[in-house]
Homo-oligomer: A and B are copies of this chain.
Amino acid sequence: MPKVVDHNERRREVVRAVWRIVGRDGLDALTTRAVAREAGWSTGVLAHYFTDRTDLLVAAFRLVAEEAEARMRGRLAQHRDPVKALKAALGETVPLDEMRRTEARVWFAFLGLAAADASLRPEAERHYETWLGVMTEAVSAVLAEDQLAEHELRRIASRLVAHADGLTVQALFEPDRLSVADLKRQLEKCVADTLAAARIVGV
C-alpha cells in the first residue's frame, strides 16, 4: 500500500521547525537550508512545500498572528475587570518577554516584506482586522455605559492598537530601548490616557 502523505501536517511540521529556529537562533538564522536540517528533510522535499525564505516567513507570521489572537481572546475571557482585560489583551501584542520579542521581530519582518510586495498586504490586513475586532470588543466592555456608537469604539480601539504598534517599534529599534518595566508603564499610561481622553474630551 502506498504511504499516504498528509500535506497539511507536513506544512505544520515545517512551520514548527521555522519557529524553533527563530526562537532559538533568531530571525537571522532562518534559511531554507536550516529549516530542512531542523525538520530532518532534504531541501528538495522542503521546496515542495515552501518555495523560498519569504514563503517560510509568511507561514511564521501567520502562526504568530494566530497565536497572539488566541492569547488576546484568552485574556479577555480571563479577567472580570474589563480595564484589566483590555490591558492584558493589548499587552499580548507588545514584546514584554523573549517569546513576544521574537514574535514582534517576525511581525515586523513580515510588514517589511508587505511594504515592498503588494501581494502580501491582504494577509497583513486580515490579521489587523481581527486584532482590531478583538480590541473593539475589549473597549466596548470598558465603555459599556458611555453609549458610544460602534465606529467610535472602533476608533478608540484603533488608537490603542496604533500606540501598541509604536511602542513595539521603540522596543525593537530605538537607541535607548524600552525596558520591559518601561514598556509596561507606557502601555498602562497609553490605555489610561486614551480612555480618559475619550471620556473627557470625546472620541
Residues in chain A within 8 A of chain B (CB atoms): 26-28, 30, 104-106, 108-118, 121, 124-126, 128-129, 132, 158-159, 161-167, 169-170, 172-175, 186, 189-190, 192-194, 196-197, 201
A125 adjacent to B173 (CB under 8 Å): yes
Copies in the complex: 2
Specify which chain B residues have a CB less than 8 angstroms from the CB of A128 in the assembled complex.
170, 173-175
18 A–B contact pairs at CB < 8 A?
Answer: A27-B115, A27-B116, A104-B115, A111-B111, A111-B172, A114-B173, A115-B172, A125-B173, A129-B175, A132-B174, A158-B170, A162-B166, A162-B186, A164-B166, A165-B170, A193-B193, A193-B194, A197-B197
A121 adjacent to B173 (CB under 8 Å): yes
| In the bound complex, CA of A104 to CA of B111 (Å) | 12
Specify which chain B residues have a CB less than 8 angstroms from the CB of A116 in the assembled complex.
27-28, 30, 105, 109
Specify which chain B residues have a CB less than 8 angstroms from the CB of A164 in the assembled complex.
166
- Chain B proximity of A186: nearest CB distance (Å): 7
